[in-house]
Amino acid sequence: MALPEPVARTRRIAVVDDSAAVRQSLALLIGARGFAVDAFPGSEDLLAAPDLPGYDCFVIDLKLDGPSGSDLLALLRQKGLEQPAILISGWDVDSLERVAVKSGFSAQVRKPMMDNSIVDELLKVLSAADRLMEPAPDRKTGAGK
């Protein structure tokens, strides 16, 4: 199986999920693909992380103890953190996409995450962010190529 193109620098991903099994397995899965992963059990734990601006993407579970995944993203945005985020959830499958879009997530992945969906989404989201960043750092111009 062709692995994705190696990336120039190691991307850092923050995973937030209250289930230890999901958290650890996700960290391993994403880590095996060459990302550097930090996993957090709850919103507060992530918010207390020492280097929040250093992450390239947040992977956040919808249902968390304390503030929900949507609330957590809002708090991150309030802090001026604009990195892309992916919502994961096993709840209320039908409305997940709506919740994700409304809360400002770039993508959503349903649990259980069979096949490669979380890594695929991660790569897509990161390359979209790269395209925005590369030609003109001022993303508002939207000049593209």
Partner 1 sequence: MSDTPKAFQVPLNQLDATAHQLHLESILNSVPDAMVVTDESGTMLAFSRAAEQLFGYSAAEMIGQPVNLLMAGRDRTNHGNYIGNYLRTGNRQIIGKGRVVIAARADGMVFPIDLKIGEARIGDHFLFTAFIRDLTEQQSAELRMQEMQSELVHFSRLSAVGTMASALAHELNQPLTAVANYLEASRDLLDSPDPEIKEVLRGALAEAATQAVRAGEIVRKLRSYVSRGEVDVRPVSLGPLLADAIALTKTSRDRADIPVSIVVADEADRALADPIQVQQVVINLIRNAMDAMVGQANARIELRVSPAEETDYVQIEVCDNGPGLSPEIKESIFKPFATTKSQGMGLGLSICQTIVEAHGGTIRAVASPEGGTCFRFTLRRDTGKTQP
Candidates 15-23, 50-58, 69-77, 132-140: pick the segment binding partner 1 (CB under 8 A). 15-23
- Pick one of 49, 54, 79, 93: the residue that binds partner 1 (CB under 8 A): 93
Q: Are 43 and 74 in contact (CB under 8 A)?
A: no
50: DSSP letter? T
Shortest distance, position 56 Cβ to partner 1, whole Å: 19
Between CA 3 and CA 16 the distance in angstroms is 25
- Pick one of 111, 123, 125, 126: the residue that binds partner 1 (CB under 8 A): 111
Kindly tell me which of 49 and 93 has the beta carbon lying closer to partner 1.
93
Q: Which parts of 32-91 interact with partner 1 (CB under 8 A)?
A: 32-33, 63, 90-91
Q: Counting contacts by CB under 8 A, is residue 29 touching partner 1?
A: yes
62: DSSP letter? S
Q: Please give the biggest Cα pair distance in the chain.
A: 43
The amino acid sitting at 124 is K
Between CA 41 and CA 74 the distance in angstroms is 18
Kindly tell me which of 63 and 77 has the beta carbon lying closer to partner 1.
63
